[in-house]
Structure 1
Amino acid sequence: MGEPTALRAKRGNDSVVQASQSDHFSERGVIGSSIAVREAEKQYGSFRAVDRISLDIEPGEFITLLGPSGSGKTTLLNLLAGFQSLDGGEILVDGKPVHNVPTHKRGFGMVFQSYALFPNMTVTQNVAFPMRMAGVDRETTERRVAETLEIMRLSDHARKSPSEMSGGQQQRVAIARAIVMRPKVVLMDEPLSALDRRLRESIQIEIRDLHQTIGSTILFVTHDQGEALTMSDRIAVLDAGKIVQIGRPLEIYRHPTNRFVASFVGESNLIDAEIMQKRGTTMTLKNRAGYVFNAESRDAIDVGRATVLVRPERILVSNEPTATSAPVRVTSAIFLGEILRIEAQMEGGDALLIRCTDTASRPLPAVGDRLHVSWGAEDCWVLS
């Protein structure tokens, strides 16, 4: 995708940077810009990569575009950055249209999956480069770079070259370079996908803390639902060029609107059941095996059949039957340290995935063992 926006800014040519320079170098973190996407469209031949998407982002919000490959999330980010042009609709930043503003004049910070660092420069020189290109004085540059390296825990690496650093450290340098100008908007395109799991989790926390420190509006693109749940104020789930659900992480995880969101965000059990009764927001249902249970619902439908989401960690397991349990047969059991991952089958054929905390009193079940499972109304959700 090329160099980050800040690296392409020309001295004296970036009106956005110059107009807000007093904000950039204040002692407090800036409050980010509002972003409004209105009926945005992008089409490649007959393929609609972005299909009439509308999205409002509040100043200083951390919002994640989450979806599988081909869902339109990176294309939407590219439209916001100015790397691609709209085929329809408009994009407004702080109420002003930007779709005709060149990329280098939008004043956005950019972080990519590839680090795009200058190999012949030290960490300090890489981070300082955008400020030097913007014509910022030496004293202010040195102070701001030092502050940014401290924020990103890079002060001890200031004199190193990129080749002397790990992948995680290089990515933190790339983030430091993107935020050194304290941009009002930071766009991040899958910046952690090349890192190993433990390092990814560590930098997720650093990015979240960074957002709270500098106050920029952050738009983060990922296909990793764990990243989205960990860092975001809100998550926009995309599929086939459309936003299929947007909400806070807890809402997306506990109350998905449809099967796609339920399956894509976290592990899930989707159970087909007959609606027997509805009282307020609680439904009574019966699955194919005849197991009767309650579930929460906002759906207006109160007759017929429904698909019910039960998260694996919300299923209670016992060795003996209870008044509210159903029997299952174990088909697989894996010890994952603090978690037991059990696959089982109900008598009517429904497969269940169960995740439960390992305890000294709970032996790992064997294939073919009979267990008993149950869940309450607050543990499952009727999909629309």
Structure 2
Amino acid sequence: MTTYDFDTPVDRHGTWCTQWDYVEDRFGVAGLLPFTISDMDFETAPEVLSALRGRLEHGVLGYSRWRHADFLGAVTDWFAARYGAEVAPESVAYAPAVLFQAGELIDLWSAPGDGVVVHTPAYDAFPRLVGARGRELRGCALDDWTEFERLIALPDTSVLLLCSPHNPTGHVWTEAELDRIATLCARHDTAVISDEIHADLAHVPFSTWVRQTNGPGRWAVVTSASKSFNIPALTGSYGIIGDPPTLEAYLTRLKDAHGLSSPAVLGLVGHVAAYRSGAPWLDELRGYVHGNLRLVADHLNTAFPALAWQPPDAGYLAWIDLRPLAVDDAALQRELVEREKTAIMPGTAYGAPGFVRLNVGCPRTKAEAGVRALVSALRRLTV
């Protein structure tokens, strides 16, 4: 029995929507059916909408604060309930965005020219984030532990920017893998920034980096309710920073260098409502999305058994390895855009030719349309 409606489409046209209204920016053609930007086509939890309406009815939208029991308690209780992790309220810090905080921490924990290790294929914002700060991106394949240790051991490698769960593959790191990463980073005095924005959408058991630590240290978890509750337009995120001096330095930069210490109040309201009341909606959403991923697997594997594709460990992004079909990336994009009128992200955007990333955070009818378009395009290229 379902409580929430994820099947009814919501028309996002004309709402300044990046995925729908601005698809031409990335694909050169307007009006495509998009499966691109990593947000979902669902309304957020009704509990979140109700809280937002209540705050708007107050009518005054003045400056606000985040260092209070409502926000900090919602975060710490969420980590305790969902992940069995004890988070000290004083270690939590607001940020306007996850990438903003990750960038600030990279600045604080490294010097220009230092190396920042990132697993590949990499979320496309990570190379830009690292390069814009004058650091060197050092990419390492997810399963290449020899290369990972070599990179971590370099004397000028200062930071590991860990994507957990990993984007775009959807891999959820096991506790054994995280223990191995933690041991290597401790041995070589490498700071760890764990981006856990997709954690709430894990389809298998997930372990937060908070549980890999033994108290204070140069580590941080940066995350937000924005992905899991589909509220990125509210702005707002937070971090759990394990090193008290770094926390204070970050807060000083937030207030003095950037003038961002007063948060978007609706972002706070959304987070508190999501974490206090939104768990049933989130659990049902995750099951629905996993159903979409199973649909993708069924259609792909029926059409092309050689793919043997399986849903990812986390999220709503189907990362699909098409290399067994030996199709040309550019030719596939032409077929999708020109013939199927469909926008699907090419793996080349993440440094991985031969892959595509299909967003199925959407009603099932749309997910089916997307995978059918992909199958049709592939058939024409493999006859």
How high is the TM-score relative to the length of structure 2? 0.26
How high is the TM-score relative to the length of structure 1? 0.26
Greater helix fraction, Structure 1 or Structure 2: 2
Higher relative contact order (CA 8 A, sep 6+): 2
Q: Which structure is larger by alpha-carbon Rg, 1 or 2?
A: 1
Greater strand fraction, Structure 1 or Structure 2: 1
